Amino acid sequence: ETLSCRYKNTCTVTLETRRRCSACRLNKCLRYGMKRERLIKAEKKSIERRQCREERTNISAINEQNSQLQLLTSPDSYSPQTSSQIQRAILNSDDLQRIEMVQTAFEKRIELARDNLLWNPTVHSTNLLEFLNSRSVPAMRLVAFFKQIPEFTQLNSEDKFILTKYNLMPLLVPSFALSFKKDTRQVIETNTDIPWDESAFQQAIGTNYLLQIKPIFAPFVEIVQYDQKIMQLFLIVLFLSKGLSTGEDITEPILRDYMAVYRAHNFYTKLLWNYMEVTHGIKVAYRIFSKLIFQYLRWLNLRRTIALDVQQSLPRTEQSNIFPVMQSLFHI
């Protein structure tokens, strides 16, 4: 009854053209004595068969995607080459000294950032605005950490600004794994800080986002519990990575000296890999590195959604009360 012909029921219905106009095909069938009920049943069966085919196609596509994802992320999916096929990783004395320097720099970040803090870390945040401003504390401490890295301090001043503005904030969550106390399930960078636990994040961003963050954060904690030097080096690799903000509604400027940033990034990527391979073996290195990359990409995708939601939730009148440096880092 809902079928209609665009050509005033003048279509020619043949074996080749029968699917072009359902209304004229139905009228022809009725003229030749076919019962309406039988036609409806036949049409329903045709629709059901088509839906079944579509469902099978969708299921096959989903299974294929899951298989590819499992292959990508499964620790046992990697088949490292034998020692005869690759050059074995080595760590010379300079590499070992640099790794120790990175560890010391991370520990010193608290003291070095003390005089530059915009928020008192001993004070609780009670609303979303205060929560955002309080994030300036770990952000400034991370900046103090990176300022001790020679390859970063030697970069062009504009490039250092670009890397800080566009790469710093996404690093907070993985960096929290280095300050996570497993017994109390709290993030405490130093004993004088107000500890951060699930309730604090839940109050600021909601239960739904907290539940999505937890399975991303947990693997970071596991890696830190296994070897914290891996995460410290990984933070530097990420900080020196151009284009981490790709996919967000912002335009990231072009670096003034791309090759200098590339060389610094390549140096720490190689240092991280060689450290993992020499210390833990190539198979474990593959597993850890794949987990780091996969979980960080998951976090980037989730963070973009959270950031957009937070900006929409915070009134414009309150956005102006966010610390200027945090407005820049939040791209507000």
What single string gives the DSSP state of each residue in 211-252?
HHHHHHHHHHHHHHHH-HHHHHHHHHHHHT-TTTTTTSSS-P
Please name the CATH architecture into which domain 93-330 falls: Orthogonal Bundle (1.10)
pLDDT at residue number 99:
97
- Two tokens, residue 326: 């945090």
Amino acid identity of residue 204, one-letter, is A
85 Cβ contact partners less than 8 Å away, ≥ 6 residues apart? none
Q: What span, in angstroms and rounded, lies between the C-alpha atoms of 262 and 76?
A: 31
Domain boundaries, the chain: 1-34, 93-330
pTM for the complete prediction?
A: 0.72
> Which residue would you say has higher pLDDT here, 255 or 47?
255
Which tokens is 149 given? Answer: 């890295």
Query: Which of 18-22, 45-49, 67-71, 218-222 tops mean pLDDT?
Result: 218-222
Give the pLDDT score at 77: 44
pLDDT at 72 over 50: no
The CA distances from residue 220 to 34, 35, 101, 228, 270, in Å, are 68, 67, 22, 10, 20
pLDDT of 7 higher than 80:
no
Q: What is the CA radius of gyration of the chain?
A: 29
Min mean pLDDT across 5-19, 61-75, 165-179, 249-263 is at 61-75
Q: Are 151 and 158 in contact (CB under 8 A)?
A: no
119's CB contacts (< 8 A; 6+ apart) are: 133, 134, 136, 137, 323
CA-based nearest residue to 72, from 297, 229, 304, 303: 297
Residue pLDDT, tens place only, 212-267: 999 999 999 999 999 999 999 999 999 999 877 655 567 788 999 999 999 999 99
Residue 231 token pair: 């995460």
